[in-house]
Amino acid sequence: MDIIRIKNLNAGFPTKRGLVRAATSVDLTIREGECLGLIGESGCGKTVLGMTIMRLLQPNTIISGEIFYKGQNLLALKEEEMRKLRGKELGMILQNSTTSLNPVLSVGDQIAEGIILHEGLRKKEAREKATELLEKVQIKNAAVMSKRYPHEFSGGMRERAMIAIALACSPSFVIADEPTTGLDNRTMKGVISLLAEVAKSKSMLFITHDLAAASEICDTIAVMYAGEIVEWGDVDEVFSAPLHPYTSGLLNSLPERGFIAIPGSSPSLIDLPGGCRFKERCACSEERCARAHPLMKEISSSHKVRCHRYD
Amino acid sequence: MSKKNLAMSVSIAIFAIYLLIALFAPLLTPYDPFIIAGGIYEEPSPEHLLGTNDLAQDIFSQLIYGTRATLLLGFTGAILSVSIGTAIGIVSGYYGGRVDEFITRTLDIVMTIPTFPLLLVMMMFFTPGIYVTGILMGLLGSARGVRVIRSQVLSIAQMNFITGVKVMGASDLYVMAKHVLPNLLSLVTVQFVFSAQHFMVMGIGLGFLGLGDSNVIDWGQMIDRAYQNGGVINGLWWWLIPPGMAVTFLSLSLALFGYSMEDEINPRMKLTRI
C-alpha cells in the first residue's frame, strides 16, 4: 500500500527574473513503512519537494500535479483540512534546529503545542506527554529539560527536540529535512541512529546530502538534480550499482571513494538547459543528450533512471 | 549599580510614588477638593499647604486628586492605542503582500493628519468625559506604533520557527497570538510607556484648553484656572507651579523608564554606550 504517491508534480516560484522551476514532473511513491532518501546537491529542489507535500510554500507558488496521501489528493484539500493533517498525520522535522525553535518558549511547551492542538489534551497532560517524548528521543533528565529554553540546549539536543515535536501526535508519515546538518560527527551518529529507530515504525521521506546517513536509514533512494528525479531505486542497488552519471559522481565525491568532485555547478533553475540537464557536467555526454530530454526509464522493477545511455 | 540601572530604578521609584498618591488620594488630602475649604486666594499656610483658589478650594488637595485623572487618562489612551497598533502591526507584517501594502498605505495617509487638532475637533462632538477623552486619544494615536511593530513582525515572520509551528498544524491566528506576540513583548512595553507619557501630557494640554472633564480635577484644568482667574497676574506661584512640576516629573520618570527599557532590549544601542 502506498502512503505517498506523487504524480507529475511541478512547483515554480515567479520572480522578477523569471520562473524558478524548483521541481519538474516529479513522480515518486513511498510505500507504507518505507523510508525514501532524497539526495542531491543544495538548491536542487529537495526541500521544496518536502514543503510542497506539507503545502507550506509561499502562497504565490505555482504548483501542478497530484500528491496522494493514503489515497486523498493533498493539493486539492482546503487549507483547513490540510491544517488538520499537519502534525497529526504528516510530521516534519525542519532544517536547521537552531532557528526552528521559538526562543521565548520552553522546549516542553513547544512539544506540547501540537498535542494540545490535535488531541485536545489539557496543558498539564500535554506537558507530561512532552516529557515522555523527550525521554523517547533520549534526552537525559527529560523532566528538567522540558522546562528549559532552546538556547539552553546543545545542537544535538535541539535536533532531538525537533524530532520529538514531529513525533508528538504520532504521525504515520514523517518528512525529515536535513536533520543532521551542522552537527559534529559523534552527535550526528546519535541522531542518525535515533532516526533509524523512528524509520522502523513509520513511513519517512529523508531529505539529506549525507549519503552515509541515507544508506543507513533508507530503504529506497531518489536522486534529485536541477528539480527532477534522475535516479530512483532500492538503496543497495543505487549505491552499489549507480546507473546515472550524476549518482556515480555523488558517490565518487565521498572521501572514502576518492574525493573526486563533479566538475562545474548545477544549472540555474530559472534558465534550465534543453535536453539532458546534466549534460554539461557529464563525462559521457553525447550528441543526443543536447537534443532530447531523457525520460525516466525502468531498468528493473526496483530501479529507474533518467539517462540516454539506457535507451 | 551602573548608570543605566540607576536611571531605571529612579524612574520606577518616582512613578511608584505617583501611583501611590493616586491610589491613596482620599487619605492624603486634608479637604475634599471640590468644597469651600476656607477664604478665597489664601496664601500657603499650615491649614492650606498650597493656599486656596478663587473658589476657596484647597489647592494641595486638588493637586493630589489631579494625579488620578492624569494617570487614568494616560493609561486608557496607552492601553487602547498599543493594543490596536500591535494588532494591526502584527497582521500587516505577518501576512505581508497586499494586506501589508494596503495597511501601510492607509497608515501613510492617516499619519499626515495632525492628531492634536483632529482630537480638538472630535472632542466637540462628544460629551467631555475622562474615558471619552482617553478612548479618542487612544484611537487617534494608535497609528504611531504600527510601523515599529510591523517592521519587527516582518523579521519574525520569516524565522524558521514560524514554519515549525505551521508544520504542527497551527492556524495563522494561533501563530500570531502564541508565537509572534511573545517575541514582541519588550517592544510593546516600551511603546506602552512612551504612549502613556505622550497621552498624559496631551490630556493636560486638553485640560488647559478647557476641554477637560469638568467633573474631575486634572492638572491642566488647574493651570487653566490659575490663568483665567488671576493666579498669574497676581503672581500666586503656589497655584501655578506645583501642577506644572507634577507633570514634569511624571513625564520625566516615564521617559527615563522608556529609554532605559529601550537600551535593555536593543543590544546595538547598548554597544554604543560602552
**What residues in A contact B182, CB-CB < 8 Å?**
102, 104-105
C-alpha cell at B176: 500570531
| A273 min Cα distance to partner chain B (Å) | 32
Query: Does residue A128 sit within a domain?
Result: no
pLDDT at position A76 over 70: yes
pLDDT at position B268 over 80: no
Query: Does residue A254 sit within a domain?
Result: yes
- What is residue B144's predicted lDDT score, i.e. its pLDDT? 82
**What length does chain B have?**
274
Q: Strand runs (DSSP E) across chain B, as ranges?
A: none
Query: Does residue A162 sit within a domain?
Result: no
Domains in chain B: boundaries: 3-273
- What is residue A46's predicted lDDT score, i.e. its pLDDT? 92
Minimum CA–CA partner of A165 in chain B: B168
Mean pLDDT (whole number) for A138-158 = 93
- What is residue A21's predicted lDDT score, i.e. its pLDDT? 94
pLDDT at position A156 over 60: yes
A vs B: CB pairs below 8 A? 65
Q: Does A99 touch chain B (CB under 8 A)?
A: yes
Mean pLDDT taken over chain B: 87
Mean pLDDT (whole number) for B132-143 = 90
Q: pLDDT of B104-117, one tens digit each?
A: 999 999 889 888 88
- What is residue A162's predicted lDDT score, i.e. its pLDDT? 93
Kindly indicate the confidence band of residue B58, based on its pLDDT and cuts at 50, 70 and 90.
confident
- What is residue B6's predicted lDDT score, i.e. its pLDDT? 86
What does A68-131 look like in DSSP terms, one character per residue?
A: EETTEEGGGS-HHHHHHHBTTTEEEE-S-TTTSS-TTS-HHHHHHHHHHHHH---HHHHHHHHH
Mean pLDDT (whole number) for A74-91 = 94
Mean pLDDT (whole number) for A208-229 = 93
- What is residue B3's predicted lDDT score, i.e. its pLDDT? 66
A117 and B169 within 8 Å at the Cβ level: the answer is yes
pLDDT at position A93 over 50: yes
Query: Does residue A294 sit within a domain?
Result: yes
Mean pLDDT taken over chain A: 92
B161 and A100 within 8 Å at the Cβ level: the answer is yes
B182 and A87 within 8 Å at the Cβ level: the answer is no
Vertex A100 angle, CA A194 and A176, to 5° = 40
Query: Does residue A182 sit within a domain?
Result: no
| Contact between residue B93 and residue B150 where contact means Cβ atoms under 8 Å apart | yes
Kindly indicate the confidence band of residue B25, based on its pLDDT and cuts at 50, 70 and 90.
confident
B170 and A117 within 8 Å at the Cβ level: the answer is yes
**What residues in A contact B159, CB-CB < 8 Å?**
99
Four-point Cα dihedral B18, B24, B27, B29, nearest 10: 40
Residues 106-125 of chain A with CB under 8 A from chain B are 113-114, 117-118
| Contact between residue A255 and residue A185 where contact means Cβ atoms under 8 Å apart | no
**What residues in B contact A59, CB-CB < 8 Å?**
97
| Contact between residue B71 and residue B200 where contact means Cβ atoms under 8 Å apart | yes
**What residues in B contact A158, CB-CB < 8 Å?**
none
| A279 min Cα distance to partner chain B (Å) | 35
What does B65-99 look like in DSSP terms, one character per residue?
A: HHHHHHHHHHHHHHHHHHHHHHHHHHHHHHH-HHH
Mean pLDDT (whole number) for A41-50 = 91
Q: Does A88 touch chain B (CB under 8 A)?
A: yes
pTM of the predicted protein model: 0.83
Among B166, B179, B183, select the one facing A56 at the smallest CB separation.
B166
pLDDT at position B148 over 80: yes
C-alpha cell at A218: 533508507
Q: Which of A1-10, A33-42, B128-137 has the lowest mean pLDDT?
A: B128-137
Kindly indicate the confidence band of residue B123, based on its pLDDT and cuts at 50, 70 and 90.
confident
Phi, psi of A147 (to 5 degrees): -90, -10
The ipTM of this complex is 0.85
B164 and A104 within 8 Å at the Cβ level: the answer is no
Identify which has the larger pLDDT, A45 or B33: A45
CATH number (domain holding residue A35): 3.40.50.300
Q: Does domain B3-273 have CATH number 1.10.3720.10?
A: yes
Mutate to test the interface with B, among A102, A149, A181 (most CBs of B within 10 A): A102
Q: Does A12 touch chain B (CB under 8 A)?
A: no
pLDDT at position A51 over 50: yes
Q: Does A160 touch chain B (CB under 8 A)?
A: no
Kindly indicate the confidence band of residue B1, based on its pLDDT and cuts at 50, 70 and 90.
low
Which SS3 state, helix, strand or coil, does residue B261 take?
A: helix
Identify which has the larger pLDDT, B170 or B31: B170
pLDDT at position B251 over 60: yes
**What residues in A contact B170, CB-CB < 8 Å?**
83, 87, 113, 117
Query: Does residue A146 sit within a domain?
Result: no
* Alpha-carbon separation of residue A79 from A54, A84, B27, B102, B170 (angstroms): 11, 9, 60, 24, 11
Find, among A203, A170, A166, the residue nearest to A28 by Cα. Answer: A203
pLDDT at position B269 over 60: no
Please tell me the distance from the alpha carbon of residue A238 to that of residue A221, in angstroms, as a whole number: 7
Kindly indicate the confidence band of residue B161, based on its pLDDT and cuts at 50, 70 and 90.
very high
Q: Does A181 touch chain B (CB under 8 A)?
A: no
Q: Strand runs (DSSP E) across B94-192, as ranges?
A: none
B interface residues, A as partner, C-beta within 8 Å: 97, 159-161, 163-171, 174, 178-179, 182-183, 185
Minimum CA–CA partner of B182 in chain A: A104
Q: Does A83 touch chain B (CB under 8 A)?
A: yes
Q: Does A85 touch chain B (CB under 8 A)?
A: yes
- What is residue B145's predicted lDDT score, i.e. its pLDDT? 87
pLDDT at position B224 over 60: yes
pLDDT at position A305 over 50: yes
pLDDT at position B93 over 60: yes
Q: Which of A261-265, B242-246, B263-267 has the lowest mean pLDDT?
A: B263-267
Mutate to test the interface with B, among A100, A107, A119, A163 (most CBs of B within 10 A): A100
Residues β-bridged to residue A298:
A304
Phi, psi of B219 (to 5 degrees): -65, -35
**What length does chain A have?**
311
pLDDT at position B78 over 60: yes
Percent of chain A with pLDDT over 90: 80
Contacts of B15 (CB under 8 A, 6+ apart): B250, B253, B254, B257
Domain residues for A74? 2-89+207-310
Minimum CA–CA partner of A57 in chain B: B163
Residues β-bridged to residue A205:
A36, A175
Mean pLDDT (whole number) for B245-268 = 85
A102 and B167 within 8 Å at the Cβ level: the answer is no
pLDDT at position B273 over 50: no
Among A59, A84, A92, select the one facing B167 at the smallest CB separation.
A92
B168 and A99 within 8 Å at the Cβ level: the answer is no
Please tell me the distance from the alpha carbon of residue A113 to that of residue A119, in angstroms, as a whole number: 10
Minimum CA–CA partner of B185 in chain A: A104
Query: Does residue A135 sit within a domain?
Result: no
pLDDT at position B27 over 50: yes
B169 and A101 within 8 Å at the Cβ level: the answer is no
Please tell me the distance from the alpha carbon of residue A183 to that of residue B79, in angstroms, as a whole number: 46
Minimum CA–CA partner of B179 in chain A: A102
Identify which has the larger pLDDT, B76 or B31: B76
Four-point Cα dihedral A189, A192, A193, A195, nearest 10: 160
Query: Does residue A201 sit within a domain?
Result: no
Contacts of B143 (CB under 8 A, 6+ apart): B85, B107, B110, B111
Residue type, A119: E
- What is residue B266's predicted lDDT score, i.e. its pLDDT? 67
- Count of domains forming chain A: 1
Minimum CA–CA partner of B186 in chain A: A104
| Contact between residue A85 and residue A114 where contact means Cβ atoms under 8 Å apart | no
Please tell me the distance from the alpha carbon of residue B265 to that of residue A151, in angstroms, as a whole number: 17
pLDDT at position B81 over 60: yes
Is the CA virtual torsion B7, B8, B9, B13 positive or negative?
A: positive
